[in-house]
Amino acid sequence: MLLRELQDGILTLTLNRPEAINALTTELLRELARAFAKEATAPEVRVVVLRGAGRGFCSGQDLREFEGQRISYKGHLRNYQGVVEGIASLEKPVVAAIHGAAAGAGLSLALACDLRVAASDAFFTTGFSRIGLIPDAGMNYYLPRLVGYARAFELAALSPRLGAEEARALGLVNRVVPAESFAEEVARLAQELAQGPTKTYGLIKRALRRSASATLEEMLEYEALLQEVAGRTEDHQEGVQAFYEKRPPRFQGR
Ligand code: T3D
């Protein structure tokens, strides 16, 4: 259900239920949570790419899995909390590589990632309100932070279908690349991140996450604290040395 491939510091996680546009089952979500908590934290992993097999990224919760059953608070939390928190707390970049559909909780997972690259054929819909549900899997946290309250409400309440360019204009995705060169563009970005100062990326994630609920004074203090940590990394030494020697840095992620 979840395919894993590690190459040159890039861990690629592929949602692999193409017959249902990679709809999320309890088992798939459990595998994903485990992958973010275990495999992705290994020191040799320097970036994670999350993608979908077949013709789309992810169609959200598998609507057939709980047919006829009531949604339970506990079951819902158990299914989604581990994955969304796993992405947020992973101290390395996570890239969502989106082609075809990203809907419902599939879109939520993409929004929880640090960067979103969309193929020109990608399309996006919150989808929840069409089946009488509210956004979940972290969408209520990420969506208004990315697009502002008014747009978040519109996207959540009306569930329009957005094309890749529309999504980029709204700030939902970082970049749109031609569908024909999607795999190469994602690989290029992943390589760039995999050769970067991994520990620094982790600290950037920590700082930006903290800023969501901090005052300026608190952030100034937290930045100083994290900068002390960044200043002790080998990659900082290497970056400064490379600057002196007028050459590109060779970061080792340490
Ligand atoms: O239980 C809880 O805890 C609640 C949690 C909720 C979280 C959520 O994510 S709620 C939102 C769930 N997702 C949706 O409502 C989206 C449903 N799907 C769609 O709207 C469309 O399929 C798409 C817009 C994603 C793609 O449209 P299209 O036309 O490209 O594909 P399609 O023909 O609709 O789908 C292809 C197949 O995938 C089809 O199966 P079939 O008929 O060929 O056997 C379709 O039924 C299946 N599929 C698509 N989405 C889901 C799905 N099967 C199960 N669950 C799905 N979410």
DSSP 153-190: HHHHHH-PPEEHHHHHHHTS-SEEE-GGGHHHHHHHHH
In a domain, 135, yes or no: yes
Largest CA distance in the chain: 66
- What element of type H or E holds 48? strand 47-52
Assessment of whether the complete model's pTM goes beyond 0.95: yes
Tell me: do 147 and 69 sit in the same domain. Answer: yes
Token representation of residue 227: 């900068």
Tell me: do 46 and 134 sit in the same domain. Answer: yes
Q: How are strands ordered across the β-sheet holding 101-103?
A: 101-103, 123-125, 162-163
Tell me: do 168 and 203 sit in the same domain. Answer: no
Q: What's residue 241's pLDDT?
A: 98
The ranges of the chain with pLDDT < 70 are none
Q: What's residue 60's pLDDT?
A: 98
In a domain, 169, yes or no: yes
In a domain, 254, yes or no: no
Q: Ligand 1: does its nearest atom lie under 6 Å from the Cβ of 103?
A: yes
CATH number, domain containing residue 220: 1.10.12.10
CATH number, domain containing residue 151: 3.90.226.10
Q: What's residue 101's pLDDT?
A: 98
Q: What's residue 13's pLDDT?
A: 98
CA-closest residue to ligand 1 atom 22 = 59
Q: Ligand 1: does its nearest atom lie under 6 Å from the Cβ of 2?
A: no
- Total count of domains within the chain: 2
CA-closest residue to ligand 1 atom 49 = 20
In a domain, 35, yes or no: yes
Amino acid, single-letter form, for residue 243? F
Per the document, the length of the chain is 254
Per-residue CA distances from 199 to 35, 94, 105 (Å): 19, 14, 29
* Residue pLDDT, tens place only, 120-165: 999 999 999 999 999 999 999 999 999 999 999 999 999 999 999 9
Q: What's residue 213's pLDDT?
A: 94
**Domain stop point among 151, 173, 194:** 194
Q: What's residue 63's pLDDT?
A: 96
Tell me: do 178 and 73 sit in the same domain. Answer: yes
User: Which residues constitute the domain of residue 110?
Assistant: 2-194
* Residue pLDDT, tens place only, 13-29: 999 999 999 999 999 99
Task: Compute, in angstroms, the gap from residue 241 CA to the centroid of ligand 1.
Answer: 52
